[in-house]
Amino acid sequence: MSHAAVAARTHAAGPLEPCKIYGSVYLETDPSRRNYCLGTVYVEPEEAFVDLIVFKEANKLFADKAGLWADAPARDFADYVLFVTTDRSRADFSIHYTKVRSFAGCKQ
């Protein structure tokens, strides 16, 4: 299934739920490819107002719960493809990277 079909199906099913995103993630920065992404994310420099705290796993096998993301080498190998915006108001959700694995997860 193409990424466009996945994105279309996901948006039709309801809003994007950042607390369900884990595994391999490809962060797209090319605005011309935005429509092929599942959603739009803003990388917040501070932890206080984010939806999800993310820990970067070196191995995809360990990225097995919310907030644990492994960098995908290319969009075709990713479980999730997200567009990174520099405008917080255009994002579906915001993330903050942590260096401590146990801090990863939803801020709910």
Full 3-state SS string of 9-33: HHHHHCCCCHHHCCEEEEEECCHHH
Domain ranges of the chain: 3-106
Contact 36, 4 (CB under 8 A): yes
pLDDT digits (tens, 9 = 90+) for 55-107: 999 999 999 999 999 999 999 999 999 999 999 999 999 999 999 999 999 98
pLDDT in tens, 35-50: 999 999 999 999 999 9
